[in-house]
Amino acid sequence: MERLVVAALALCALAPSARCATGSVAWCYHLPSCNDTTWPVIAPQYCNGTRQSPIDIVSASAKPDANLTAFTFHNFSRTSALQKIENTGKTVKVKLESGVRVSGGDLSEDYESLQFHLHWGNGSSVPGSEHTVNGKRYPMELHIVNLKSSHKGNITQALADPTGLAALGFFIEEMSGNATGQPASWRTLTSYLANITNSSDSVSVAPGISLDDLLDGVDRTKYYRYLGSLTTPTCNEAVVWTVFKESIKVSKDLIDLFSTTVRVSNGSSPYTINVYRNLQPAQPVTTQPASSSTSSTTCYSLGLMALSLALGRS
Ligand SMILES: *[C@@H]1O[C@H](CO)[C@@H](O)[C@H](O)[C@H]1NC(C)=O
Ligand SMILES: *[C@@H]1O[C@H](CO)[C@@H](O)[C@H](O)[C@H]1NC(C)=O
Ligand SMILES: *[C@@H]1O[C@H](CO)[C@@H](O)[C@H](O)[C@H]1NC(C)=O
Ligand SMILES: *[C@@H]1O[C@H](CO)[C@@H](O)[C@H](O)[C@H]1NC(C)=O
Ligand SMILES: *[C@@H]1O[C@H](CO)[C@@H](O)[C@H](O)[C@H]1NC(C)=O
Ligand SMILES: *[C@@H]1O[C@H](CO)[C@@H](O)[C@H](O)[C@H]1NC(C)=O
Ligand SMILES: *[C@@H]1O[C@H](CO)[C@@H](O)[C@H](O)[C@H]1NC(C)=O
Ligand SMILES: *[C@@H]1O[C@H](CO)[C@@H](O)[C@H](O)[C@H]1NC(C)=O
Ligand SMILES: *[C@@H]1O[C@H](CO)[C@@H](O)[C@H](O)[C@H]1NC(C)=O
Ligand SMILES: *[C@@H]1O[C@H](CO)[C@@H](O)[C@H](O)[C@H]1NC(C)=O
Ligand SMILES: [Zn+2]
């Protein structure tokens, strides 16, 4: 999950390894002086905490919790919801219009969806998701960042609340077969990358694609849940994490555009690659209980089979 204080980020980018104004720190993914192994030192509050993200999710250790019901996604179908796309130098971020929100899914109240952004490696063959599942790292991960409604847009207040933010994480995987430019929603989204090749470039997104279009094909009732943190400094432990089990399928050519189009600063700087934090210590994870109807049906039919075998023998 990308940091929220954009102005501070821009200032800090000019002075790597120096401590910046507004209480934030300069940080990076790739320089020895500020990469993620240094975050617990350069930002000890909170990157050196005890509920840090991302984590490896061990599916067999996820405890069943029947409270993890379906979400309601408000305005995810609005084709004007995506406002502006920006190259921050560390990610590609899309600002959402107000009125997009999420509720249900055992969240304590409504959360307003502020933005989504992405994490990636170096093309579809060098994966760069933040979370992993049973040790598997996916090519990319999309994070939708949502702020608890009762904080009324006050991010400072939300960051001081252990459940002030809700992050929705979606893995992105290569579509099978030889498709190119698919799905159309991702073709449209990635078509903007050429307009934001330099850091701090941004352009408006034309109406036409919705969040539902981008999340197409994912069963959003199946997910993992744990309490964690922002995955960039200052790593505030304020995030209710939801990581969906099914991945978004995107064709290889579109995945590859992220690591071959946007740059960390201007036209002579490197491409933005491997923008994810390393794994942090495990946390308790919950998920939906295994469907009891399926297993009881199986037991029942096995029972019937045993009964009929017994009857047949007598
Ligand atoms: C990160 O920085 C540390 C030193 O602070 C260095 O040992 C390590 O190799 C660096 N890792 C990467 C991936 O740059
Ligand atoms: C991080 O926390 C650990 C355990 O609380 C502590 O031993 C270590 O000194 C801390 N490191 C920094 C840089 O604050
Ligand atoms: C489910 O929610 C109920 C009511 O809020 C609560 O009492 C119970 O502890 C929750 N169960 C779990 C496993 O968290
Ligand atoms: C969707 O967004 C519009 C525009 O912000 C808002 O008027 C409307 O109430 C929202 N709908 C829902 C269901 O939240
Ligand atoms: C990223 O991938 C490109 C294309 O495969 C390759 O040329 C480049 O060396 C890779 N960069 C790193 C840092 O591995
Ligand atoms: C946000 O909340 C903090 C802490 O409660 C408060 O100090 C600050 O004034 C609030 N900011 C705004 C813009 O309301
Ligand atoms: C993909 O393309 C290769 C080479 O053109 C071909 O051999 C293969 O059958 C194609 N696979 C699919 C699923 O279309
Ligand atoms: C993106 O760049 C292309 C080519 O330079 C240009 O035609 C198009 O108008 C730009 N789109 C936006 C939204 O700025
Ligand atoms: C590009 O950025 C580098 C530092 O990142 C700077 O030295 C150089 O002057 C910049 N070039 C242009 C054309 O802006
Ligand atoms: C990016 O910066 C370079 C100079 O480093 C400039 O030539 C180019 O036009 C800029 N690209 C965009 C899309 O503004
Ligand atoms: Zn993120």
CATH number for 286: 3.10.200.10
Confidence of residue 12 (pLDDT cuts 50, 70, 90): very low
pLDDT higher than 80, residue 311: no
pLDDT higher than 90, residue 246: yes
Nearest alpha carbon, ligand 10 atom 8: 267
Segment 261-269 mean pLDDT? 96
Segment 242-259 mean pLDDT? 98
* Cβ contact 275:36 at 8 Å: no
| 99 belongs to a structural domain | yes
**Per-residue DSSP letters for 257-308?**
HHHHH-BSSSTTSPB-----PPP------EEPPP-HHHHHHHHHHHHHHHHH
| 147 belongs to a structural domain | yes
| 184 belongs to a structural domain | yes
Give me the pLDDT at residue 307, please. 42
pLDDT tens sequence across 156-197: 999 999 999 999 999 999 999 999 999 999 999 999 999 999
pLDDT higher than 80, residue 304: no
pLDDT higher than 50, residue 17: no
pLDDT higher than 90, residue 91: yes
Which residue segment(s) compose the domain that 119 sits in? 51-313
| 222 belongs to a structural domain | yes
> Is cis: bond before 234, omega within 30 of 0?
yes
Q: Which of 215, 249, 1, 227 is nearest to 116 (CA)?
A: 1
Give me the pLDDT at residue 292, please. 60
Give me the pLDDT at residue 25, please. 81
* Tally of domains in the chain: 1
| 30 belongs to a structural domain | no
- CA atoms of 253 and 177, how far apart (whole Å): 12
Out of 27, 36, 37, give the residue to mutate to test ligand 1, the one with the largest number of ligand atoms within 8 Å of its CB.
37
Task: Scan for tokens 């029972």, then name that residue.
Answer: 303
Segment 191-207 mean pLDDT? 98
Q: Is 264 exposed, middle or buried (0-12, 13-18, 19+ CB in 10 A)?
A: buried
Out of 85, 191, 195, give the residue to mutate to test ligand 8, the one with the largest number of ligand atoms within 8 Å of its CB.
195
| 117 belongs to a structural domain | yes
| 281 belongs to a structural domain | yes
Confidence of residue 198 (pLDDT cuts 50, 70, 90): very high
Output the CA 190–ligand 4 centroid distance in Å. 26
| 24 belongs to a structural domain | no
Sort strands 63-64 and 286-287 into parallel, antiparallel or unpaired. parallel
pTM of the model: 0.89
- CA atoms of 24 and 12, how far apart (whole Å): 8
Q: In one letter, which amino acid is 236?
A: N
- CA atoms of 161 and 148, how far apart (whole Å): 9
